[in-house]
Amino acid sequence: MPERTVLQQADIARALTRISHEILESNRGADGLVLLGIPTRGVVLARRIAALTGEFSGSAIPAGSLDVTMYRDDLSRGRVRTPSPTEIPPGGIDGAVVVLVDDVLYSGRTIRAALDALGDIGRPRAVRLATLVDRGHRELPIRPDFVGKNLPSSQHERINVRLTETDGAEFVSIEGGEAA
């Protein structure tokens, strides 16, 4: 199975910088924004984007995590999934513009679960979606607002995202797919 790196550390940093600027631009500043990462790597990305937007706008956007395990539509298939903590920033999400952050956008089912989870926690003014990689193959009418890299892929291929905080290495690679 050939594995080929598509984003290096510098590419990831550039993509996150651009996403941070785009989030600030579309919101006309950092007011009323909340970043919620989807475990595991989305949480890391949300924290990094929060730090970057703090650098660019002077006021740091609160960042937290949103676990979607209990809202998945495939809980009765496969292995038992253990949940991760959900940490909502102290200000809550009512009336805020929530930006969901995930590493890879694929079928869209995780985001569907995240929207349901959000609904049980509060009522945001708007929900946006930022993703490091969009690999296509959507199964639901969901579309990202901020994308690091569009990566057209075959469904036989695997996209690996590795981040320093969680994996001790930093790259995005694409694996397999000779069957395509």
Partner 1 sequence: MRHLLSTRDLTRDDAVAILDVAEDMADVSTREIKKLPALRGKTVVNLFFEDSTRTRISFEAAAKRLSADVINFAAKGSSVSKGESLKDTAQTLAAIGADAVVVRHGASGAPQVLATSGWIDAGVVNAGDGTHEHPTQALLDAFTIRRRFFGTDARGRDLAGLSVVIVGDVIHSRVARSNAWLLTTLGASVRLVAPPTLLPVGVNTWPVTVDYSLDDSLAKPADVVMMLRVQGERMNAAFFPNAREYSRLWGLDDARLAGLGEGTIVMHPGPMNRGLEISSGAADSARSTVLEQVSNGVSVRMAVLYLLLSGEREDLA
Residues that bind partner 1 (CB under 8 A): 67, 69-71, 75-86, 116, 120-122
Q: How far apart are CA 61 and CA 35, in angstroms?
A: 7
**Those residues with Cβ within 8 angstroms of residue 141's Cβ, 6 or more apart along the chain or in another chain:** 108
CB of residue 116 to partner 1, shortest distance in Å: 7
Ramachandran angles phi, psi of 132, nearest 5°:
-70, -45
Residue placing its CB nearer to partner 1 in the complex, 120 or 178: 120
The residue (of 37 and 148) whose beta carbon lies closer to partner 1 is: 37
Which lies closer to partner 1 via its Cβ, residue 10 or residue 80?
A: 80
Distance CA 137, CA 94 (A): 32
- As measured in angstroms, the least distance from the Cβ of 84 to partner 1 is 7
Nearer to partner 1, 70 or 140 (CB): 70
* 53 and 23 Cβ atoms separated by less than 8 Å: yes
For the chain, what is the largest distance between any 2 Cα atoms, rounded to a whole number of angstroms?
Answer: 49
CB of 91 to partner 1, least distance (A): 15
Q: How far is the CB of 68 from partner 1 (least distance, A)?
A: 11
How far is Cα 66 from Cα 87, in angstroms, rounded to an integer? 6
Count of H helices and E strands in the chain? 4, 8
Q: How far is the CB of 36 from partner 1 (least distance, A)?
A: 14
Given the complex with partner 1, which of 82 and 180 has the nearer CB atom? 82
Rounded CA separation 115/141 (Å):
13
